[in-house]
Amino acid sequence: MPELPLAQSRVLRFVADGGQVTAGQVTQALRMNRGDVQNHLRLLGGKRLLDADSTTVPVSYTVTNEGLQALAALALEGGES
């Protein structure tokens, strides 16, 4: 699995810890730019690490099994802060 940039790994960890979160919740909790958060969520979804539930308003995100595996690999490598 390719390495994740730090910001993407922070977003992925937050979604995993939150269960089902929105871009606004990520933005607020991690104090990141909303556009950057939306980009990270889109990229993580493209890597199949997150699922987007477009039936909710606003769209909510959950971590996939692949995302959990990526987080476990990061933890083993010591790549998480």
CB under 8 Å to 54, separation ≥6 — which residues? none
Indicate whether 17 belongs to any domain: yes
Global pTM value = 0.87
- Residue in this structure with the two tokens 């996939």, named with its chain if needed: 64
Look up the CATH number of the domain holding residue 62: 1.10.10.10
Amino acid at 4: L
Indicate whether 1 belongs to any domain: no
Give the number of domains in the chain. Answer: 1
Q: Is 39 exposed, middle or buried (0-12, 13-18, 19+ CB in 10 A)?
A: middle
The residue segments making up the domain with residue 34 are: 6-76
Over residues 28-47, the pLDDT tens digits come to 999 999 999 999 999 999 99
Residue 81 has pLDDT above 70, yes or no: no
Q: Which of 48, 54, 35 is nearest to 4 (CA)?
A: 48
Indicate whether 81 belongs to any domain: no
